């Protein structure tokens, strides 16, 4: 049986990335190794695989525009977002933190990120759930910074 081999430069180019098959109905993707497995390499050649680390400046700009859009919601709506997102022990402290971030000129970006991520998650884009949690950590770090 002949061993699967790739040219050196092709192998080097494919090694720089995390390759995934398209996601299934649950939203999970299967990882592929096109440098080691011939079936994965054929899927790469057919254009089935996508590179997780392949991000251009334009993609990052569009992503940031979605998250940094200025949307202000009522405090009750913010409370419902926090209740849906976090477990019971963390809800009140995170809610109070976000209220402080809403009124702080430097930390308001974290507030916008949370609101936009929660709205995008509610509309069906499941990949923004982790960003909502990370925005609470961002608000905490931005509020903690001492300014002169």
Chain mean pLDDT for the chain: 87
Check whether 147 has a pLDDT greater than 70. no
Q: Across the chain, where does the E strand assignment appear?
A: 19-20, 31-32, 50-51
Q: What is the pLDDT of residue 115?
A: 92
Structure tokens at 140: 């905490």
Structure tokens at 145: 């910074």
Confidence bin at 100 (pLDDT 50/70/90): very high
Per-residue pLDDT reduced to its tens digit, 53-84: 777 788 888 888 888 889 889 999 999 999 98
In the chain, what's the furthest Cα-to-Cα distance? 70
> What is the reported pTM?
0.65
Cα–Cα distance for residue pair 144/72, rounded to 1 Å: 22
């Amino acid at each position: 049986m002949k061993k699967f081999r790739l040219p050196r430069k092709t192998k080097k180019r494919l090694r720089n990335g995390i390759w995934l098959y398209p996601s299934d109905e649950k939203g999970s993707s299967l990882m592929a190794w096109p440098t080691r497995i011939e079936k994965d390499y054929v899927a790469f050649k057919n254009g089935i695989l996508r590179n997780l680390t392949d991000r251009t400046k334009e993609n990052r700009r569009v992503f940031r525009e979605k998250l940094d859009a200025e949307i202000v919601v009522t405090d009750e709506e913010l409370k419902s977002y926090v209740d849906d997102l976090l477990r019971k022990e963390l809800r009140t402290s995170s809610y109070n933190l976000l209220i402080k971030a809403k009124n702080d000129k430097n930390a308001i970006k974290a507030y916008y990120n949370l609101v936009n991520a929660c709205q995008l998650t509610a509309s069906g884009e499941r990949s923004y759930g982790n960003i909502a949690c990370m925005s609470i950590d961002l608000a905490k770090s931005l509020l903690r910074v001492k300014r002169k």
